[in-house]
Structure 1
Amino acid sequence: RSPGAAMPPPWPAIVGAGLLGASLAAPAGNGYQSSKVRLPKWPPTYEMKRSTLLMPCNSSGWHEAGEALRYGYVSYDWANAQRLWLQDAESLLTAQADRVVAADPDGNTRVGVYRNAIKAFNWFGRITQEKLDDPRYAGWFIQFKDCRGPESNRSYDPPACTREKCSCAWHDHAGQLGGGSQDCGRSPCGGYVFDHRNDSFTEWFINDFIISKDTILRNGITEMYLDDRVELWGIAEAEGSFLRDTGLSPEDMKALKDAFDRNMETVYDRIVQHGAFAWQMLYDGPFVLPQYLANGTLKPQGSVRPRDCARTLRAYCRPNSTLARRALAYTHNPNADNATVQADQHLSVFLLTRGDYAWIGYDYRGCKAQPYPRPAEWDADYGRPLAACAETGSDTKIFRREWTKASVEWDCNAGRGRIGMMWEPTAVIV
């Protein structure tokens, strides 16, 4: 769940970014983002509370269902409740989702769980362990080049063995909890790599690993976070010397990437067909907010140039544009860990440009033991939009949108927004 926007290194170098050390800059994180516009099958809502999202990770134990129910879209990270598990994150993710679903009989909060689409974590649960430990499925995992077991151990970085256990399937330890001391089956605990070029793997990956009774076929789970992706330069969030130690050529990587991309397109279509959605189908809302310090003070030289701001908003306000039709996430709060800072400014952009499917809130911000600060503005009633946003005149660089209970404006010249609530007359009793 680290940003996919960074430029890759030149071939054949590879980026190493641990799962826990990743920073975030886009809704898709390090996952595969398709160019195809996909929208949920469920009816859209403009109710503000249900238009908020959260990716919680409680470091101390279960995440409180009460906080989850304040949001409309909640997606649990793999590391949630990490003090309760060392080698079975899969079942605890399901149990965490069940706790929220049980507390929400009306289904107002959509709940999601994590899966990794390219890294095969055998500490994640038995579904991966069983295949990894069975030599009949060796073709489902990328292998170390010329591996001969323990005698090849120090030929690779990371090595093939941990303590007394060895595996010729390539693996690293990025983001791994427990220091490798836990029991992950016959193989060392680690992050292995699925080989999407294998047709028999594809069937299992789609119909057992991703779409299952522990994910979107389960009552109340309607969302998934599908982490990581394949690029020509390697695997997102893999550490060590992946290309050197596997011997994969540029042609091999192209074939792996093409197969992975095909599988993900199929997975995304199937998820939507099942009435669910994936975080990686979300796109960013517009970047027109100035940059602020943590206390909400404007950063020096932090303003967006008015002409750039106006060009961006024209693209989002254009009726039936691709940007206007996508499902959007507005997670770049002025203070990434405290959305109450300049909350009205971020919300102005949200209300101005959001479409039928849009959420404002927090993406992954690390594992915490405290609730996420929630702005009061996220619980107000703005009604429904009466039309799309529009510029107030020729090149004014001021954009406005009317809602049934509010008027919203963003002034690119000033770099400021405004939300004006409609006056509601008190009923007169005759």
Structure 2
Amino acid sequence: MPCNYSGFFDVPTAAQWGLADFDWSNAKLVWVNDKPMDCEALLARQAEAVKAASPSTRIFVYRNLVKALPWFGSVREKLEDPAYSGWFLHYRTSGGANFSSPECTGRKCSRLFHDQDQTPSTDIAADGRCFEECDCGRSLPCGEYLWDHRNSSLRQWLLEEYVFGPSALGHGGIDGLFLDDEWYDSPLPNPSWGPPEGFCTASPYGGPSEVHPGCVADMGLSHADVRAITAGWLQTLSQVHAAALEAGRWIYQLFRTVGAPPRAAEECAAYFRDACRADSQAQLSATLFSFSGAQSRPLPSPTDDVAAFLLTRGPYGWIGFGWVGCVSCNLTAEDPRGLCDPAGTYERPSELDADYGEPRELCAETSTSSRVFAREWSKAHVSFDCNSWKGTIESRLPLSSQR
């Protein structure tokens, strides 16, 4: 999940990988200062550049079916048009104007609900700093607006234009989407990584994820309203998933995401015993396997990780990095090479550049309760000893170096 906060991500680095999913924060310091902002256009340009360098790399880009983000040009167009106001959730009309998330930012106000979480501003500490007044629309305050999934015409537009439009799955260089955020119709505890004040999902009725607390009250939503919006969002999501698969595209959330086996010997063994079954989700799902200690450099156990991946992967599997944050590679006169090393941030172990051939069988425990698991590949013998938490890859033929 590569991301360069200050500009386009390094194309040669992204092109080394089989799949690259670009977050909305990619090139943020560029698009927040465009007038008006258009994050989705820059995501499409990033996708085109990597696809041109490596046609086999699968490219995903960001979309959000909960938040209507005005820094996406197609979304801003609808937010600014009063004819589409029914597609968005509004502030309540009774009980005064004492809102947790204000209607106005600077000189611009909107009766469409919006919060300021992860919103660009001129504040030096903002999540995306505008050097002049931020431009999210002619009369539109910057903020995170919310789709109203009770509206069937919205659902049709989201599917046909937002998901399958020319800067998304209708683009020849884009293979999939990451669909962010969720609706819940019952309260959730604040996640450990969340802000101290919590999120709107902690309301007695639930609500949208990663939105400022108080949003349900600001909008005057009843529990029945939240249930209806959640049901509508699930219907939208189901139709998007089905349409993407029918078109030969993919949605990131359809992946099975896993990491390395647990360190405790018996829990490690249980991990492999499950994954080695022919009817396991490991064998039946498209899997993303994340490196252990993905924030550490160098990676602490790449051989063990690759061994576990080769032992358990089914026909469709990728190994690499999930979200590790955005790098920031400003180019300056003093340092024309940039202020970071994107290749180092997304370290590529040498084990990824060897050809292990094809799997000849499923993995299996070498003897009853041995806690040692093995799998034969046409060019390697792969094993993992849960007793010592050690993976081994033994070449049976000279391993040819290839991507």
AA at the equivalent of 2:103? A
- 1:287/1:70 CA distance change after superposition, 3 Å: closer
Which residue of 103, 106, 120 maps to 1:177?
A: 120
AA at the equivalent of 1:100? V
SS for the counterpart of 2:391 is strand
- Residue 389 (structure 1) aligns with: 363
Q: In 2, are the aligned partners of 1:75 and 1:113 still within 8 Å (CA)?
A: yes
Q: In 2, are the aligned partners of 1:339 and 1:361 still within 8 Å (CA)?
A: no
- Residue 91 (structure 2) aligns with: 144
Which residue of 333, 337, 354 maps to 2:292?
A: 333
- Residue 56 (structure 1) aligns with: 2
Q: Relative contact order: is structure 1 or structure 2 higher (C-alpha 8 Å, sep ≥ 6)?
A: 1
Q: In 1, are the aligned partners of 2:120 and 2:142 still within 8 Å (CA)?
A: no
CA shift digits 1:149-186 (9 cap, x unpaired): xx83xx11111111121111111122122347312122
1:410 aligns with 2:357: no
- Residue 97 (structure 1) aligns with: 47
SS for the counterpart of 2:370 is coil
Which residue of 21, 25, 28 maps to 1:75?
A: 21
- Residue 149 (structure 2) aligns with: 196
Q: In 1, are the aligned partners of 2:294 and 2:321 still within 8 Å (CA)?
A: no
CA shift digits 1:329-370 (9 cap, x unpaired): 112422435463311111111111011111111112111132
Q: Distance in 1 between matches of 2:89 and 2:296?
A: 37
Q: Distance in 2 between matches of 1:424 and 1:68?
A: 28
Which residue of 101, 115, 123 maps to 1:158?
A: 101
Structure 1, unpaired ranges of 5+:
1-54, 290-303, 426-430
- Structure-1-length-normalised TM-score: 0.78
AA at the equivalent of 1:354? R
Structural mapping, 1:12-411, within 5 Å: 55-86=1-32, 87-104=37-54, 107-125=55-73, 127-146=74-93, 152=97, 155-179=98-122, 181-185=133-137, 186-232=139-185, 233-285=206-258, 287-289=260-262, 304-338=263-297, 340-368=299-327, 369=329, 370-371=341-342, 372-411=346-385
- Residue 421 (structure 1) aligns with: 395
Q: Distance in 2 between matches of 1:72 and 1:147?
A: 53
Q: In 2, are the aligned partners of 1:333 and 1:339 still within 8 Å (CA)?
A: no
AA at the equivalent of 2:208? I
- 1:147/1:189 CA distance change after superposition, 3 Å: farther
Deviation (angstroms), 1:142: 1.1
- 1:147/1:214 CA distance change after superposition, 3 Å: farther
Deviation (angstroms), 1:261: 1.0
- Residue 334 (structure 2) aligns with: none
- Structure-2-length-normalised TM-score: 0.83
Q: CA RMSD in A?
A: 1.9
Deviation (angstroms), 1:70: 0.3
- 1:56/1:270 CA distance change after superposition, 3 Å: same
Q: In 1, are the aligned partners of 2:282 and 2:314 still within 8 Å (CA)?
A: no
Q: Distance in 2 between matches of 1:219 and 1:424?
A: 38
Q: Distance in 2 between matches of 1:199 and 1:339?
A: 50
AA at the equivalent of 2:93? D
Q: In 2, are the aligned partners of 1:285 and 1:350 still within 8 Å (CA)?
A: no
